[in-house]
Amino acid sequence: MTYCVAARLQEGLVFLSDSRTNAGMDQVSTFRKMSVFERPDDRMIVLMSAGNLAITQSVREILKESVESESIWSAANMFEAATVVGAAIRQVYERDHQALAEMGIDFNCSFILGGQIRGESCRLFQIYAAGNFIEAHSENPCFQIGESKYGKPILDRVIRPEIPLDEAVKCVLISMDSTLKSNISVGMPLDLLVYQADSLQVSHFVSVTEEDPYFNMLRASWGERIRQAFHDLPAPDWSTMEKERSKPVFERHIRTVDQ
């Protein structure tokens, strides 16, 4: 399994992905989930993937090797780039889905595509296994794929289009730490990419390892502050919580004829 998260903000874009693809008692595999398509002063596009590794790698290879008129490198805008990714997914599906079905394997893949092409603003898309997609907007500026449930609460509370990029970086790292804490199928190292709007090139890229001092400080501080906040919450006030009308339902034993 994996976990990838991306946010579209007024200042730019933030992308974060783990690198775990298989986990078990005696097998752990690591593959990067993030690909960058960058042509300075023209376009900066990031693709992150989750799902069956053979499927997602095939899609990425099609996109990287494509020299046709319709490719990520020739797309006039990000919507067209998302359409190109969708077409690559369907191409892999047509080639492999029957053999996968015969083996009892689902055609399982999902992608996050985001970036900026000269002449338009930053855009962010989530692309599904059928090749269709949705776009992030002001009310929903964040996308997750993979093992998303553990890291979602902090995103829902913090991510807003107006927050600074550095605040969004803190938020997605905490979201990832929550996922790492609760699910062994997500693992380090992490790939973190930050894009400043209108720069048309990668602003910051970091491979976050187990030894990274900032990430270790963040996860330790966050855990301690959660425990402190929990400790500071008042205990239940039973005098106001217990009401005459809120009594438990007691099951009563009814003797039957056979008894």
Contact between 116 and 198 (Cβ < 8 Å): yes
Q: What pLDDT was estimated at residue 220?
A: 95
Residue 256 has pLDDT above 90, yes or no: no
Binned at pLDDT 50, 70 and 90, residue 38 comes out as: very high
Taking the C-alpha atoms of residue 55 and residue 11, their distance in angstroms, rounded to an integer, is: 33
Q: Which amino acid is at 140?
A: N
Q: What pLDDT was estimated at residue 247?
A: 66
Q: What pLDDT was estimated at residue 99?
A: 95
pLDDT digits (tens, 9 = 90+) for 84-95: 999 999 999 999
**Distance of CA 142 to CAs 8, 16, 44, 151, 205, Å?**
6, 12, 18, 12, 19
Q: What pLDDT was estimated at residue 127?
A: 98
Q: Which of 199, 127, 197 is nearest to 168 (CA)?
A: 197
Taking the C-alpha atoms of residue 211 and residue 208, their distance in angstroms, rounded to an integer, is: 8
Query: Residue holding tokens 């730490």?
Result: 177
Locate 235 and state its tokens: 């205990």
Q: Which of 2, 4, 6, 23 is nearest to 168 (CA)?
A: 6
Taking the C-alpha atoms of residue 39 and residue 112, their distance in angstroms, rounded to an integer, is: 19
Contact between 125 and 117 (Cβ < 8 Å): no
- The H or E element containing residue 193 is strand 190-196
Say how far residue 137 (Cα) sits from the centre of its chain: 16
- Considering only residues 27 and 79, tell me which one the structure prediction assigns the higher pLDDT: 79
Q: What pLDDT was estimated at residue 18?
A: 93
Range among 16-20, 46-50, 248-252 with highest mean pLDDT value: 46-50
pLDDT digits (tens, 9 = 90+) for 160-200: 999 999 999 999 999 999 999 998 878 889 999 999 999 99
Average pLDDT, the chain: 91
**Distance of CA 112 to CAs 3, 17, 23, 118, 125, Å?**
11, 10, 23, 20, 6
**Distance of CA 233 to CAs 84, 157, 174, 229, 238, Å?**
51, 19, 22, 6, 15
Binned at pLDDT 50, 70 and 90, residue 27 comes out as: low
Q: What is the mean pLDDT of residues 116-143?
A: 97
Can you give the pTM of this predicted structure?
Answer: 0.89
Residue 258 has pLDDT above 70, yes or no: no
Domains of the chain by start residue, with CATH: 3-231 (3.60.20.10)
Taking the C-alpha atoms of residue 44 and residue 35, their distance in angstroms, rounded to an integer, is: 11
Residue 28 has pLDDT above 60, yes or no: no
Q: What pLDDT was estimated at residue 241?
A: 77
Q: Which residues pair with 15 in a beta bridge?
A: 6, 193
Residue 216 has pLDDT above 90, yes or no: yes
Q: Is the peptide bond before 189 cis (omega within 30 degrees of 0)?
A: yes
Query: Residue holding tokens 């709007």?
Result: 197
Beta strands in 27-136 (DSSP E): 29-30, 34-39, 43-51, 109-117, 123-127, 133-135
pLDDT digits (tens, 9 = 90+) for 137-171: 999 999 999 999 999 999 999 999 999 999 999 99
